Amino acid sequence: MDSETEIHVYFMPGMSANSLIFERIKLPQGFVSHFLEWIPPKKDEKIANYSKRLSRLIVHENPILIGVSFGGLIVQELSKIIKTRKVIIISSIKTNKESSISMKFAKKTKSYKLLPVSWLDDFENLIAFVFGPRIKRRVDLYRKYLSVRDKKYLEWSISTIINWKQEKPINNVVHIHGTRDLIFPIINLKNYIPLEKGDHAIILKRADWLNKFFEKNLI
């Protein structure tokens, strides 16, 4: 493909993560990768407004958006603002009904507001919260991926995920999910592509599978 026919793909990482989590992803020829990073949220900022500000960093028309975990929520919100060719979410959810029982409980009781974010200062706690408890055994290998650790950002992220108001799935969202994901268990999900034995860190652990999927399914 020449520059006029190239298809632009924008990636959004998960909570606290930077774009290095996509370092093992290789797109087919003719697709151009662009990597979004988290911008500082404003106080009590709604996800719609945050996504509108973030959308200014997308400079190509009709892109493909790929988001991981919390980044999956963000790319779905972005698709309400800009025209997209396709939206792919990985290890994420399509509606608030797909969130975990513990998240629904936290929303109902507001217990998340009592959680001191300082406990995430311990990197092992943070990495388990973001990628799932199985990752704690390999904490040093994953340290470079979680660089967004500002307290205000973490508080905003937790509140935004728990209080996401999306009640119905957005049309044409492709959802890839590990069958052993403990952050968003598959028992709550509908209409997703299962990655057998994959956990919440499939973007890192199962990049080869994802690359093969992208090779056949990006268009």
pTM of the shown model: 0.91
**Residue given tokens 């307290």 in the structure block:** 151
Q: What are phi and psi of 181, to 5 degrees?
A: -70, 125
Token pair in block for residue 46: 């709604």
Q: Identify the domain containing residue 31 by its residue range.
A: 7-217
Dist. CA 12–CA 111, nearest whole Å = 28
2 assigned to some structural domain: no
pLDDT tops 90 at residue 77 = yes
1 assigned to some structural domain: no
Listed in order, strand segments (DSSP E) in the chain are 7-12, 31-35, 64-68, 86-90, 173-178, 193-195
- Give the 3-state secondary structure of residue 8: strand
The phi-psi region of residue 200 (left if phi > 0; otherwise alpha if psi is between -120 and 50; otherwise beta) is alpha
**Residue given tokens 């998240």 in the structure block:** 103
Query: Residue 176: which CATH number?
Result: 3.40.50.1820
How does pLDDT run across 138-185, given as a tens digit for each residue?
666 678 898 888 889 989 999 999 999 999 999 989 999 999 999 999
Average pLDDT over residues 175-200: 96
Q: What is the pLDDT of residue 142?
A: 77
58 assigned to some structural domain: yes
Contact yes or no for 99/188 (Cβ under 8 A)? yes
32 assigned to some structural domain: yes
How does pLDDT run across 99-124, given as a tens digit for each residue?
989 888 888 887 666 565 655 666 56
Q: How many domains does the chain have?
A: 1
